[in-house]
Amino acid sequence: MHFSHLPEPVSPSAAMPHRKVIRSWLLPVAQRNTGRALALVLLDLCLFALAITATVWLQNTAIKLLFGAIAGFIIGRLFILGHDACHQSFTPHRRLNRWLGRLVFLPSLTLYSLWDVGHNMVHHGYTNLKGFDFVWHPLSLDEFQALPRWRQWLERVYRSGWAPWLYYLVEMWWQRMYFPNRRTMPTRRPVFVWDGVLVTMAALVWISLLVIAALATAQSIWLTLAAGFVLPFLFWNAMIGFVVYVHHTHTGIAWYDQKIKWAASQPFVSTTVHLTFRYRIGALLHHIMEHTAHHVDMSIPLYRLQEAQQILETMLPMRIVIQKFSWRWYFDTARRCKLYDFRRQCWTNFSGLPTSAAAVVS
């Protein structure tokens, strides 16, 4: 793809340009389109409804569960649309974004206002800065050894590569995204409560409709709920737990415990992975894996992220971590990225032995 408006690419040995300069390169692809956004919402809501209907209508148990997993994947797609709406990058209209965001967040049982605080303000404001960014933040060896035995075991499970669903379900959704306590969310706002009520009502309606459908078709209520509610919700938790993990966990990605070092690392570029897939899986995920562009400029809508990412990789050669996905790479990363040595700036195993090279600050 040719971008005639761009200057010459920045040499890898030159200083990183200011973020305002980098964002200026992306202006031609930052336009938001209401019609396109609404079409995406309608498409994914219809797909979700069809998948849930299939878990009731079809008789074969294995096929019911298959469509339950498909429904979970579509919940992930809807959530990505809501993620954009929460960033005010989905349509040009702020109020419409807020209501669309709340609507498409309902299947994932996500509170719009709490996601706004935790993701937009904290994660994007302080990506990979220890003590601020709390999603998949690594412990140091001393912190890990100070944990009680049960919690050490849980950390080992979380970082095994097999449990992103459990991590997100417990550490993120239950503790931070669904009526969080004062320890995890000291700020108390009425909108948090009302969004919690909205999500709870949506869950009750969803469950009630499945029970009614099971009774009307003389099917097992428990199987219907498992295929039409529990499995989609767990699949969604696995999906987002995995996506957030691979966005910011990589042997070439650093974490920081000092704000000065963190700011010097140009974190809007250096702390994010662009994970590439075969078979257009990235497109099925609404291009959320073009994540460097999203962190550089949150106002770019998801339907333009692919172009924005190409611009960045053209203009900043050898600056962006680009990783071709494979399960072998993923489980190798999970094996190596257990704890973090903030002094040496490298990943370690649970014994504190280095498993990656020390990070280099640009």
253-302 pLDDT tens trace: 999 999 988 988 888 888 899 999 988 899 999 999 999 999 999 999 99
Give the strand pairing for 273-276 and 321-324.
parallel
**Whether the predicted pLDDT of 133 surpasses 60:** yes
Average pLDDT, integer, range 340-358: 93
- DSSP letters of 281-321? HHHHTTTTT-HHHHHH-TTS-GGGHHHHHHHHHHHSTTTSE
201-257 pLDDT tens trace: 999 999 999 999 999 999 999 999 999 999 999 999 999 999 999 999 999 999 999
pLDDT at position 7 is 84
pLDDT at position 265 is 82
Mean pLDDT of the chain: 92
Buried residues in 105-132 as b, exposed as e (16+ CB within 10 A): bbbbbbbbbbbbbbbeeebeebbbbbeb
pLDDT at position 16 is 87
Tell which residue, 241, 183, 233, 295, has the closest CA to residue 51.
Answer: 233
**Whether the predicted pLDDT of 359 surpasses 80:** no
- DSSP letters of 236-260? HHHHHHHHHHHHH--TT---BSSHH
- pLDDT-derived band of residue 358, with 50, 70 and 90 as boundaries? confident
**Whether the predicted pLDDT of 118 surpasses 90:** no
pLDDT at position 289 is 93
**Whether the predicted pLDDT of 28 surpasses 90:** no
Average pLDDT, integer, range 75-92: 96
Average pLDDT, integer, range 92-97: 96
- Would you mind telling me the total number of residues written for the chain in this entry? 362
**Whether the predicted pLDDT of 3 surpasses 70:** no
Contact by Cβ (8 Å): 79, 241: no
- pLDDT-derived band of residue 324, with 50, 70 and 90 as boundaries? very high
Cα–Cα distance measured from residue 215 to residue 224, given in angstroms and rounded to the nearest whole number: 10
Q: Specify the higher pLDDT residue, 121 or 346.
A: 346
Cα–Cα distance measured from residue 213 to residue 317, given in angstroms and rounded to the nearest whole number: 55
Judged by average pLDDT, the poorest of 24-33, 44-53, 83-92 is 24-33
Q: What is the pTM of this model?
A: 0.93
Contact by Cβ (8 Å): 73, 10: no
pLDDT at position 4 is 62
- pLDDT-derived band of residue 33, with 50, 70 and 90 as boundaries? very high
Average pLDDT, integer, range 339-362: 88
